[in-house]
Structure 1
């Protein structure tokens, strides 16, 4: 495994040599003695962490060169982790640098144990941030017509859309509720020849049969009580464009017959009318039921099924899409955080693990609901499993192996400290580790030194 990259900027060559010797075992160390060489090294290596002395030539007794170097690094990478190394009399300058964007500051001569812990913590945070940015970039690169998917199943769906969008043949989209069937239908429309024509959608299972017929085919004035004027139906409205029929399996037998006739002849009659009306709307249908089983059970016409299922694609449930879960969640988090003025939010490790373990019965729609609620309700910048309401029966996310190990370590460290009245030396000796290692454990486990 490659060592993390570290940049050391100091005009004193002896200090640089000593610090490089102390850090080289754990880091790939680059050096610079002035602003020009520091900027060149920073640009070339893009270190996770930079140690920066404020007093640089040609004015080593003032902080101007150091502050200018800090500013330049933050221009190149606004999330750069720059740790200021300053003399005792430069504390105000170091605080000024932190206010300008430095990550932390230490006083010279730096205690190497303390420096090692600060660097290690900074590298850990910088690594997490880079991974988050890579995930965001990957989500953008894997986006297709507002859909995100790196999984082989979704790439197959995207390929299907590219191939068939330019035709006018009917399409049947299969998949569980919440998998994004309407998004696929809209992608087919936007990539089709009639993308500037209407896209008209209707949920066949959400409207009573008596009203659905009028919605689809329209009605003449006086066709029934309340029909005070002629009304065009959605099939007529969608002429030249796309008609999306969601939950097509919910159509009554009578409406199945009328829809079949339209698909065969591209003509229909309004309710209460005799005039044959033409429409060249492309029909894209979707359902979450098995239409073949419905045909076998006599609930769905076989001839209508074959008319609708000229081209078929199936959307996978979210639980089967692997890394897509985190990709989609990350993009949703960015979008909702921007919408609610909470930029800079990220998922905590327990949230990522809980999302990957959840079965997602509501699919992408459920994920969207949970992420949006979490953005609003989270107390800080980190979205936890609790914020997502993804907890087990005991109210906690299931622990990972790492968390279980850390829990045992924390119990042993705190117990040793209690037994020895807070003595680091005695507690470390009891556990059979060195003082620096004990300090490192305390820092990792967030145990206060006092």
Structure 2
């Protein structure tokens, strides 16, 4: 339990019993405040921070059950321990149905009460931590928090919303750095398996023999160094989700074993004969063209069909340049806060360079670029001076300077306008080609051109 004193609100209309409890509980761990009846609880909570409520069930004006009902109605989640006569244990059970953490009977055993208080406060701490963690996960992996307004991204969001509640196997494709792992996390977090484990493995990072052991586990003595039985990723992901990244780098022999797990839900550990059954949802990702690999005979066709029940393709950043301003702003806020920098935005010249760049590393490269710029920035805006050399022409690199910066306010709306303007210039005002490069419908582009007076 926290070493700081916890505030306890003691609610009891028996003056003598209230005094006895207060004398016994007040000290280095607890500070006790008093209320003489249930109708004083809500006003007391409005005045001071309370960590726990000790609530007598039998009171004259507002009894314990009615007080619990009032707390529920006000959505107050402070843990409550009810105090009751031994003959009224049935009422105490009813109180727990209304949200009380536990009960103690009169005459109160102080040591037992202290133990119950400690359990209640520890439970509250864990509950608060879980709520905080869930809020963080919602912020990071909620579909609403994945950035993208381009048609390709909107279509992907529709697929994610439909497939996440199911147990369908999903194959996520796209170039390196497009955010495939983020999508896998989001699928798990928004599924009915969210309370189960999310286990991931990069198939390209391991040698074939080691990969098999990582996937299926091994028995003691199955190979040199295998001193004990070890569970593999499939077992660790039981009742949850297993994400296999770069599945195109897996050997044909291992592919056959993966196929068996998908078909039958079982496997044997390396060096073992015991069949292990698992309940796992499989998500896979690759930057390779699996269909071409099937044609070449380097990837099993039956496994490809099993994996791509629902295929999701993440477009390269250069194919969705309309999203660059919003992504840039998102990363700017993240790293400005992390590095305690008061940076207001991105200068127009900087944004032009970001839009025109071809982004071979996709979103991961954009994030790293913005983080670097935030660290180097000494003003209120990210200027071209904070960008790495590859963003400039050979002439500018040879001269050793970037374009001068002018500190103007630049909103997200301004950024979108600039993206469209720059892309129109690059295509010679070919609207069909501009719309394609921006990843938006031609009519949407025409509407934006009219809205921003770009003609």
Which category of TM-score, normalised to the shorter sequence, fits these structures? Answer: 0.5 to 0.7
Structure 1 residue 322: Cα displacement: 2.5
Contact preservation (8 Å) 2:359, 2:365: yes
Give RMSD over aligned pairs. 1.9
Q: Which residue of 2 aligns with 1:354?
A: 353
May I ask how many residue pairs the two structures share in their alignment? 260
Q: How does 1:224-373 map to 2 (within 5 A)?
A: 224-373=223-372
CA drift of 1:391 comes to 1.7
Give, in whole Å, the separation in 1 of the partners of 2:346 and 2:372.
13
Q: Where does residue 385 of structure 1 map in the other structure?
A: 384
In structure 1, the residue corresponding to 2:385 is in which secondary structure?
Answer: coil
Equivalent-residue separation in structure 1 for 2:223 and 2:369 (angstroms): 44
TM-score (norm 1): 0.56
Q: Which runs of 5+ in 1 are unaligned?
A: 1-139, 400-450
User: How far 1:159 sits from its partner (Å)?
Assistant: 1.1
1:194–1:240 Cα contact (<8 Å) kept: yes
Shift of 1:311: 0.7
| C-alpha distance 398-323 of structure 1, shift in aligned 2 (>3 A) | farther
**TM-score scaled to structure 2, two decimals?**
0.55
* Deviation of the 1:188 alpha carbon: 0.6
**Alpha-carbon offset, residue 397 of structure 1:** 6.0
CA distance in 1: counterparts of 2:156 and 2:285, whole angstroms: 14
Q: Which runs of 5+ in 2 are unaligned?
A: 1-138, 405-455
2:259 partner SS? helix
CA distance in 2, matches of 1:391, 1:380: 21
How far did residue 181 of structure 1 move?
0.4
Q: Give the structure 1 partner of residue 218 of structure 2.
A: 219
1:145 Cα shift? 5.1
Structure ID, larger Rg? 1
Alpha-carbon distance in structure 1 between the residues aligned to 2:143 and 2:349:
29
Q: Is the 8 A contact 1:354 1:398 kept in 2?
A: no
Checking the alignment, whether the CA contact within 8 Å between 1:175 and 1:316 is kept in structure 2 is: yes
State the partner residue of 1:185.
Answer: 184
1:145-202 superposed Cα distances (whole Å, 9 cap, x missing partner): 5421111111111111100001111100010000000111111101111101000111
Preserved CA contact (<8 Å) 2:147 2:326 = yes
| Cα distance in 2, alignment partners of residues 251 and 245 from structure 1 | 10
Q: Determine helix, strand or coil for the equivalent of 1:262.
A: helix
Alpha-carbon contact 1:392-1:398 (below 8 Å) kept? no
CA contact (8 A) 2:343 2:379 kept: no
- Please state how far the C-alpha of 1:340 moved relative to its aligned partner: 0.3
